[in-house]
Amino acid sequence: MTVTVREAMRADLVAIIAIETVSFSDPWTRGMFGSHLVSQVGNSFLVAEDGSDVVGFAITRVVGDESELLNIAVDPARRNCGIGGLLLDAAMDRCRNAGGLEMWLEVRASNAGARTLYDARGFAAMGVRKRYYQAPREDAIVLRADLRSTARIETVTRAGLSLNAEPVDSILSPASHFPRQETK
């Protein structure tokens, strides 16, 4: 299996929304995904693809020297074989290339799988947003990674799978606003 990472396209939205819907109790709407497809300064919307199948996605934003992971999910049938890590590495690389020095995100306190992934990528807990999530109500742990100290990873080999990320070469400029309310 070879999984590649590329820019998301409008034609990917059906698969992306299917993954989102089975992944979250409070899923993003089609409109929220669509707004990130529009090329906006500082935005990055990546998908992981196996053949013609979209198997995951990651959305980030850069403002000044800060970046934020807004959303990431992998097809449940394809989890735990390195695809989430591949997407996160590509997203961090994209933000680093756009001038981001650090990356922030929020994660449900009980989301052990995601927290393991973030821990492995150098994220550290910076605080707690009490009762941040709904359905079910739960605290968010605020995590931060220093993009200067995390190495670019282009190829990941895990459990016999070769995961090849295409080089991320676009340079994005900072946007002027950095809301956090969409963050998973």
Ligand X SMILES: CC(C)(COP(=O)(O)OP(=O)(O)OC[C@H]1O[C@@H](n2cnc3c(N)ncnc32)[C@H](O)[C@@H]1OP(=O)(O)O)[C@@H](O)C(=O)NCCC(=O)NCCS
Where along the sequence are the contacts to ligand X (CB under 6 A)?
23, 72-74, 79-85, 107, 111-114, 116-117, 120, 184
* Distance of alpha carbon 62 from alpha carbon 43, whole angstroms: 7
Between 159 and 171, CB nearer to ligand X: 159
Residue 75 DSSP symbol: -
The first and second tokens of residue 55, run together, are: 């198997």
In the complex, minimum distance from the CB of residue 173 to ligand X, in angstroms, rounded to a whole number: 26
Query: Is 132 a residue of the active site?
Result: no
Query: Is 106 a residue of the active site?
Result: yes
Q: Report yes or no: 90 and 121 within 8 Å, Cβ to Cβ.
A: no
φ, ψ for residue 165 (rounded to 5)? -90, 130
Q: Which one is catalytic: 118, 154, 166, 182?
A: 118
Between 120 and 128, CB nearer to ligand X: 120
The first and second tokens of residue 80, run together, are: 């735990």
CA 6 to chain centre: 13
In the complex, minimum distance from the CB of residue 107 to ligand X, in angstroms, rounded to a whole number: 4
The first and second tokens of residue 151, run together, are: 């190495």
Between 88 and 99, CB nearer to ligand X: 88
DSSP string, 10-25: GGGHHHHHHHHHHH-S
The first and second tokens of residue 17, run together, are: 């929304």
Return the residue nearest ligand X (CB atom).
Answer: 84
In the complex, minimum distance from the CB of residue 56 to ligand X, in angstroms, rounded to a whole number: 6
Q: Which one is catalytic: 20, 49, 102, 106?
A: 106
In the complex, minimum distance from the CB of residue 84 to ligand X, in angstroms, rounded to a whole number: 2
Between 79 and 180, CB nearer to ligand X: 79
Catalytic residues: 106, 118
